[in-house]
Structures are given as structure tokens and as C-alpha cells.
């Protein structure tokens, strides 16, 4: 018996299953520059991961003591110090939610049927993820680093900070464009 992939479904008002994944995904319906939206989402994901791992700043105390700080290293240090609350906040809001938001946006763009009600539910979930990710936690992470640095410290910013910021901005722009394309697709499907 050949392998048949299970199709994702959701119940309709009359109780019949409705496929969520369909050939009418936004990626197949867009034209022009909007075709690059998927690449933009992938680029945001790449910038995000790079921003996590590259140094965001160097904290210099006195002349000879320097610490390069990346978001990943800061999170590891909080874990090692047993600072569970701050570790949890950074792990969930700076890593889990932003990555989940971008992966969900890619799924919506490439897999969700643009002509069905499942698209609105998927976009609502994407909006919820977006509200809990990136910018506010980025500010909180910088605040944690600033508070833990002593008054005799000098901070030098590095590429990781700018890459993470670029990931935030690109993610916001791409998901806003995804929402606009979805509204347009829903308008033509209803007509």
C-alpha cells in the first residue's frame, strides 16, 4: 500500500472536515515582489539565529577584563548561576516565541489554504505569537546586562545586536505583509 500523507483538517459549521492545507496557499497565489516573502521570512530566521549566537556587546571592566556577551551566552550564564526566572524569561521570549513565530509564518505562507476560514485562525495564532516575542524581551535582555555590569564598565556594541534588531524588523515587516496578502486573498475568495 503506498504511503498517503494525512491532510490537516478542521471542522466546519456543518461538522464536515475542511482541509487547512491546500493548493491555494498564499505562496502559490502571490505575484511580483511578494513571491520573495518566503525568502524574507527565512532571512529573518537566519538573522535571528545569528543574532542569538554572535556577540552583542563587550563589557570591559578596568583595562584587562573583558567579556563578550551574546544572547545565547547570557542565557547560559543565567542558567549556570541558577537565576531561573531570568533564564526562563529569556529562553521563552527571546528564543522560543520568535522562532515559533517565524516558523508559523512560513507554514501559513506555504501551506495554509488562502480561500478557507483556516487562514484567519492561523493568522490570529501568528499575531498572538508576535505579541509575545522579540522587541520587549530584547529591551529586557539589554536591561539585565546593564544592571549586572558594574559602574566601572565600558560597553562596546557588536554585530550580534544589529543582526538581532534586523531580524526583529524584518520579521515584523514580513508578517505584516503576510497579513495584507491574506486579507487580499480572502477578499477575492469571498467575491
Condensed to tens digits (0 to 9), the pLDDT of residues 150-163 reads: 556 677 778 888 89
Cα–Cα distance, 42 to 39 (Å, whole number): 5
Task: Identify the pLDDT of residue 53.
Answer: 94
Across residues 153-177, what is the average pLDDT?
84
What is the set of domains in the chain, with CATH numbers? 34-190 (1.20.140)
The dihedrals phi and psi of 55, each to the nearest 5 degrees, come to -60, 135
* CA pair distance 167, 50, nearest whole angstrom: 9
Angle between helix 135-148 and 71-80 (nearest 10): 60
Q: Which one is predicted more confidently, 29 or 75?
A: 75
Confidence (pTM):
0.75
- Containing 69, the helix (H) or strand (E) segment is strand 65-69
Amino acid at each position: 500500500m503506498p504511503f498517503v500523507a494525512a491532510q490537516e483538517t478542521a471542522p466546519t459549521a456543518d461538522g464536515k472536515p475542511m482541509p487547512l492545507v491546500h493548493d491555494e496557499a498564499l505562496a502559490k497565489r502571490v505575484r511580483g515582489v511578494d513571491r520573495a516573502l518566503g525568502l524574507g521570512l527565512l532571512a529573518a530566521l537566519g538573522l535571528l539565529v545569528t543574532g542569538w549566537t554572535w556577540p552583542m556587546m563587550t563589557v570591559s571592566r578596568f583595562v584587562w577584563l573583558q567579556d563578550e556577551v551574546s544572547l545565547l551566552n547570557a542565557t547560559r550564564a543565567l542558567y549556570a548561576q541558577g537565576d531561573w526566572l531570568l533564564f526562563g524569561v529569556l529562553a521563552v521570549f527571546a528564543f522560543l516565541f520568535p522562532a515559533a513565530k517565524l516558523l508559523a509564518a512560513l507554514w501559513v505562507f506555504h501551506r495554509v489554504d488562502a480561500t478557507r476560514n483556516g487562514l484567519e485562525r492561523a493568522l490570529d495564532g501568528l499575531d498572538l505569537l508576535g505579541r509575545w516575542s522579540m522587541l520587549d524581551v530584547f529591551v529586557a535582555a539589554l536591561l539585565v546586562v546593564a544592571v549586572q555590569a558594574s559602574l566601572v564598565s565600558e560597553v562596546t556594541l557588536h554585530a550580534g545586536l544589529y543582526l538581532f534588531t534586523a531580524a526583529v524588523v524584518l520579521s515584523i515587516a514580513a508578517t505584516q505583509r503576510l497579513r495584507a496578502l491574506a486579507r487580499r486573498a480572502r477578499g477575492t475568495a469571498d467575491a
